[in-house]
Structure 1
Amino acid sequence: MLSSLLALCVASTAFADDSAVVTYDGECVIRADIRSARDLRTLLAIAEEEFSHRIDLGEVDFRVKRARLAALTAAGIRFEMRVPDLAEVVRNERVRLATAAEGGIAGDASWFADFKTIAQINAKLDEWAIAHPSLVSSVTAGASLEGRVVRGIRISSAPMGANVPAVLFDAGQHAREWIGPMTAMFLANALIDGASSNARIARILSTCEIFILPSVNPDGYEHTWTTARLWRKNRRDNGNGTFGVDPNRNWGFQWGRGGASTDPASETYRGTAAFSEPETQSLRDFFYAHPNIVGHMDYHSYSQLVLWPWGYTTTAPLEAPAFDAIADRMRATILANGGQPYIAGQIATTLYIASGSIVDWVYGDRAITSLTIELRDTGT
């Protein structure tokens, strides 16, 4: 019953004038206590969008117009206010970022004091390659729908073309999840710095390649900076007044099954076919061009989760014990080093059913160990 209601989730996709700046005036974010299927139906009908990654009985975050809160109260739905004025938060963030200093040279931690535009991210990638020519080199993974090159770097002291294993880290499939690209960049910075100061990192980089692609949906990311801060998908014109395909429902393994919408207005719209989008095609082809990739990590937010396949089914993969051990070790390491509690588990059973994801394709099609992390926070 509850799973069938997910198809009713109201999308925030803009219709008509998609170029107008979205202000989110009159909107707030609440945490609702869902006690029944009726509560869920009511919230999905009233809310603009659900923010929590998992919709079920219990506490779930929603974006709602303040004028509709009385209807929730009348329906007997309990909720607490999390963000009273979403427009003010978005507006203040824009002002802060517009006045922030560019900050930082290669290796300078001040660069990570705040979020960065796609142009700033790409400039930093170039800066690293220039400053560390024997360690860092530029790579590309095709181009986006609007023609933006998907940029990244290779970090390794092994000669280019050496027969060594590789690990790929990507971020930004969902445009509004700004912490993902910054986390990927922070990882790159730590590896570059560690190559000369940490024996373990130096040893790893001498025997393998690390590929980091910090923003694999650059059109969507740019749109979140210029027009709609909470935009999630790519920028596909669907031809019916709606825009966007969810890249993480467009991958070819078990495409079109549960947890992916056929509605172009939905935030989880799967597209017209598997790999219909240039962003997923390009990243797929990057895997094909680098058969030495043996590990993969996909960064998202939020919820603080370490997740492994499958997403399309609750049936566990044959290698579930190995995945569970890897994810649990990552969870424990994050807790020990950063003090943040993460939950580890299979995507479909820990989070939700989601077909057409990159993690399922990387593992199911390429037989590569693949995980995803839902980064901070938990909506607090």
Structure 2
Amino acid sequence: MRMIVFTLCLITLIVSTLSVPITDFLARPVRYDNHKLIQLKRSDAALDFISKNNLDIWHKASDVLHVRASPKDLESLAEFSPEVLIENIQESIDLETKSLKQAALAKRAVDDATWFQSYHTFTDIVQWLQNLSQKYPDLVTLVPSIGKTTLGKDIPALRITSKNGATKKKFWFQGLQHAREWIATTTMQYVADGLASGYATDASTKKLLDEAEIIIIPVSNPDGYEYTWNGDRLWRKNRRNNGGGVYGVDTNRNWPDHWNKGGSSTNPRDETYMGPSAGSEPEVRALMNYFLQLGNIVGAIDYHSYGELIMWPYAWIDMDPMAVSQYILLGKTMKNAIQHVNPQERYQLQQISKLYIASGSSSDWFYGDHVSQAQGFHGISIAVELSPADQQGVSNFILPAENIVPVGNETLHSIIAFIEYALAGKFVAKS
């Protein structure tokens, strides 16, 4: 009898433990009622107005801008003839929240079979990474912590390769520097799963993992990501306490390569706040230190959303790298791999600085002098803006979960093409 009572209590405790967190997480105090997503024609005047008024830019293309606008903001932007893409951003968030709650009720634990049908909390992601390493122990190694976040969370990494004793070139893929870009972390998870599961069934994947080691950082900004679940769905930065009730640094403006050279802000309230000094953020230092510790990393890609762009350095200055022609050929190879899965004419190729200046970015650091001197060669550095495209702004950061698999699948194919291209010696990076 005591055993029955104990078992019932344990079941109740487990169910309570699994159901309460999702409710707590999704009770976000920050709301965006009647805020709209608008599209403006890109111009210096529009960019200057947006900067001076500290408006939230969601996407920059060569010809248009996507901006979140409160009712008051919309009035002040009238001179730029805004086109409304989303009437009420909060309604999109509420629909996503409803879907997340339904998914949480449908399953009470991390489940491989349904994993890519929904987005997941950071805690569940860490558990899933552990499950993946246990499922494929000869291929996948979980590194529980490559360093700590601002709030003391561990930043996990995966190392994926066949353990054949060979000395291998390494490739680095990271996602979710910007917390609200949820599709970036699901894509990294999908790629990890696809590589591990494909080893036994796909000859090209087997060859790739026999010759190379893949490093994946699924969540580069755990504090910010968790805050998008329990505080503000549209939060972008990390959670540094800047004082005065102001939080966050844009980690992708904090890397110590031409830091504070433009395209970032000294105002802690801004979305692109660069931080108090180059490399000041624990998340950035953790990523850098682990990258340099591993060594022999011949290619790195930093994943963001949205816009469907394959981009390369430089970000800090509008100057072509000497390897620009090779980047174009590599970009076309990645684009062709995506089109093989999804034949639409979609991803565009772009040097970052031709689109916008962004000093202190990871893309410049991966390609820059510090890394090249440490490794003895210039590695390949790419930044990708995932789906949707800019003309599909109705989806934006709040991308429905049914997009997880198609975006993940096309990215997996583009990553395989990227690695094969590099291993074949087709890309020789120069300064």
- The TM-score bracket by the shorter chain reads 0.7 to 0.9
Give the match for residue 250 of structure 1.
254
Q: How does 1:185-224 map to 2 (within 5 A)?
A: 185-224=189-228
Higher percent of residues as helix: 2
1:241 aligns with 2:248: no
1:182 Cα shift?
0.6
1:25 aligns with 2:17: no
Give the match for residue 348 of structure 2.
343
Give the match for residue 82 of structure 1.
85
Deviations along 1:70-99, whole A, 9 cap, x unmatched?
4444x3x32222111111111221121122
1:53 aligns with 2:60: yes
Give the match for residue 310 of structure 1.
314
Deviations along 1:107-142, whole A, 9 cap, x unmatched?
x3x311221211121111111111111111111321
Q: Which runs of 5+ in 2 are unaligned?
A: 1-26, 372-377, 393-431
Alignment partners' CA distance in 2, 1:251 and 1:353? 14
The answer (yes or no) to whether the contact 2:28–2:230 under 8 Å persists in 1 is no
Give the match for residue 3 of structure 1.
none
Superposed CA RMSD in Å reads 2.1
1:153 aligns with 2:158: yes
Count of residue pairs brought into register by the alignment: 353
1:360 Cα shift?
0.4
Q: Output the TM-score relative to the length of structure 2.
A: 0.77
Among 46, 69, 76, the alignment partner of 1:64 is: 69
Among 166, 173, 178, the alignment partner of 1:174 is: 178
The answer (yes or no) to whether the contact 1:158–1:209 under 8 Å persists in 2 is no
Aligned sequence identity (%): 35
1:189 Cα shift?
1.2
Alignment partners' CA distance in 1, 2:307 and 2:252? 17
Deviations along 1:351-370, whole A, 9 cap, x unmatched?
21111110100111322211
1:69 Cα shift?
3.2
Give the match for residue 267 of structure 1.
271
Alignment partners' CA distance in 2, 1:65 and 1:47? 12
SS at 2:267's partner residue? coil
The answer (yes or no) to whether the contact 2:110–2:128 under 8 Å persists in 1 is no
The answer (yes or no) to whether the contact 1:47–1:63 under 8 Å persists in 2 is no
Q: Which runs of 5+ in 1 are unaligned?
A: 1-18
AA matched with 1:378: A
Alignment partners' CA distance in 2, 1:79 and 1:316? 33
Deviations along 1:257-304, whole A, 9 cap, x unmatched?
011111111111111111100000000001111012211111001110
AA matched with 1:98: K
1:26 Cα shift?
2.4
AA matched with 1:78: S
The answer (yes or no) to whether the contact 2:54–2:270 under 8 Å persists in 1 is no
1:111 aligns with 2:146: no
1:45 Cα shift?
5.9
Alignment partners' CA distance in 2, 1:39 and 1:261? 17
Question: Structure 1 241/134 Cα, relative in aligned 2: closer, same or farther at 3 Å?
Answer: same
Deviations along 1:136-191, whole A, 9 cap, x unmatched?
1111321111111101211111257x521111110010000001001111111111
Question: Structure 1 193/263 Cα, relative in aligned 2: closer, same or farther at 3 Å?
Answer: same
Give the match for residue 128 of structure 1.
132
Alignment partners' CA distance in 2, 1:323 and 1:156? 26
Question: Structure 1 149/47 Cα, relative in aligned 2: closer, same or farther at 3 Å?
Answer: closer
Q: Which runs of 4+ in 1 moved over 2 A?
A: 36-48, 66-73, 101-106
1:345 Cα shift?
2.1
AA matched with 2:56: E
1:378 aligns with 2:389: yes
Q: Output the TM-score relative to the length of structure 1.
A: 0.87
